[in-house]
Amino acid sequence: MIRASGISKWYGPVRALHNVSFEIPRGQIVGLLGPNGAGKTTTIRIATGFLPPTSGSLSINGHDTVEDSIAARRCIGYLPDTAPLYPEMGVRAYLDYRGRLYGLARQARRAAAERVIDRCALGPVRDRRIGQLSKGYRQRVGLAAAMLHDPPVLILDEPVSGLDPGQILEVRTLIRELSEDRTVLVSSHILSEVELTCDRVIIIAAGTIRADGTPEDLLDALRADAPYVAEVRAGDLAGEEVASILRATPGVAGVMVSPVADAPGYVRCLVTPNRGAGDLREPLAAALAGVGGGGLLVRELRRERPTLEQFFLTVTGEGAQAQGAGAAVAEAAA
C-alpha cells in the first residue's frame, strides 16, 4: 500500500510537484502517466525514498519514507528508468549481490535468484556478463532484481521500454501476475500499455494530478462530450443549410461542416453535443432523413470513440498542439 499525502517538491526555485495525494491499495496496478517533466520520476523517487518531499509525506505499508526510510525501502522492489546495472558483473552475480543488500541468507538468495531468473526468462543469459546483454535482457535483469526479495510493493519506471512486442507481452503478463498480492506502481509513456496493464491511471502534468481513475472511468468522462461525425450527401443544399438542420436537433451544441475531399457532393459534419445529452445518433439520423422528400443520403454517422491518448492530451493541456480528432475532443471537452 502506497499513501501519498499532499507531497510537494521544489528543486531550488523550481516546483516539480504540488500537493500530490493518492493511495494505492494492495492488489492494484496503477499507471503513472504524464508528459516529460511532469513530475513522474520525482514522484517515483519520493516513493522509493531516494528523494524526500519538500512538504507532505509518503508511506509504504505504513512506513514513512523519510522517518522510517530503511523499513520502507525493505518493502519496495524498484526498477529505475533505463535499468542502471553494473556492466562488468554477471547476471547471477548481480542478483546474488542484490540479495545480499536485502539481507537474504545464502540459501534464500539462491532460491530467489532461480525464481526470478525463471520468471523473467533469463535462463539463456544467466552466466553472461550484463554488459554483453541486449537492452531487452538488461531491462529484464533490472526487473528480476526488483522482484528478488519478494517485495509487497513494486515500483517500475518504464518497465517495457526497449522490449520487443513479444517481450512486452511477457512482461505485461508478469506484472499482472505479480499484482495479485502486491501494490504495483508503473510509470509509462506508452498509453496503450497503461490501458492494457493497469487497473487505474493517475495522470500527472506540471506537478499536479490531473486525473485519477480506471481507464474506463476516464474514458466515460470523455465519452459524455465526444462529438459525432456524419458524412452526408448535401445535394443541392449548401453546407450551412445542413448545419442548421442538425443544429435544430435537441441536444446539439454546435456543428462544423466541411467538404469531403475524396467525395464531391458530400459534407462532413462534426456535431458537438450538449453535456449529458445522451446518445444523439438516432435524432441526428431522423433530422437528416426528414429533409425534403426523401431526406439526405447519410453514408456515415458515428460517435467519435475517445482514446486514453486523447484524454491524456486533453488533461495535460497539450490538446492545442494535437492534430485531428485529438484536437476536436480537446475542444469539445474544454
Please, which residue, 6 or 84, has the CB nearer to other proteins? 84
Please, which residue, 26 or 74, has the CB nearer to other proteins? 74
Whole-angstrom distance between the N-terminal and C-terminal Cα of the chain?
Answer: 34
In angstroms, the CA 28 to CA 61 distance is 14
Q: 48, 59, 197, 310: which one contacts other proteins (CB under 8 A)?
A: 48
Examine residue 97 and tell whether it contacts other proteins (CB under 8 A).
yes
Number of residues binding to other proteins, judged by CB under 8 A: 30
Min dist. Cβ of residue 76 to other proteins (A): 7
Examine residue 85 and tell whether it contacts other proteins (CB under 8 A).
yes
What residue has cell string 458524412? 231
Q: 7, 32, 51, 315: which one contacts other proteins (CB under 8 A)?
A: 51
Min dist. Cβ of residue 152 to other proteins (A): 14
Min dist. Cβ of residue 1 to other proteins (A): 18
Min dist. Cβ of residue 213 to other proteins (A): 29
Min dist. Cβ of residue 158 to other proteins (A): 13
Please, which residue, 41 or 314, has the CB nearer to other proteins? 41
In angstroms, the CA 88 to CA 95 distance is 13
Please, which residue, 30 or 145, has the CB nearer to other proteins? 145
Examine residue 180 and tell whether it contacts other proteins (CB under 8 A).
no
Examine residue 121 and tell whether it contacts other proteins (CB under 8 A).
no
Examine residue 89 and tell whether it contacts other proteins (CB under 8 A).
yes
> Cβ distance 41 to 228 under 8 Å?
no
Binding mask 143-172 for other proteins (x = CB under 8 A): --x---------------------------
Q: 78, 137, 311, 312: which one contacts other proteins (CB under 8 A)?
A: 78
SS (H, E, C) the chain: CEEEEEEEEEECCEEEEEEEEEEECCCCEEEEECCCCCCHHHHHHHHCCCCCCCEEEEEECCEECCCCHHHHHHCEEEECCCCCCCCCCEHHHHHHHHHHHCCCCHHHHHHHHHHHHHHCCCHHHCCCEHHHCCHHHHHHHHHHHHHCCCCCEEEEECCCCCCCHHHHHHHHHHHHHHHHHCEEEEEECCHHHHHHHCCEEEEEECCEEEEEECHHHHHHHHHCCCCEEEEEECCCCCHHHHHHHHHCCCCEEEEEEEECCCCCCEEEEEEEECCCCCCCHHHHHHHHHCCCCCCCEEEEEEECCCCHHHHHHHHCCCHHHCCHHHHHHHHHHC
Please, which residue, 74 or 176, has the CB nearer to other proteins? 74
Examine residue 15 and tell whether it contacts other proteins (CB under 8 A).
no
Please, which residue, 152 or 283, has the CB nearer to other proteins? 152
Residue type, 218: L
Min dist. Cβ of residue 12 to other proteins (A): 8
Binding mask 217-236 for other proteins (x = CB under 8 A): --------------------
The site for other proteins (CB under 8 A) is made up of: 11, 45, 48-52, 66, 70-71, 73-74, 76, 78, 80, 82, 84-86, 88-89, 93, 97-98, 100-103, 142, 145
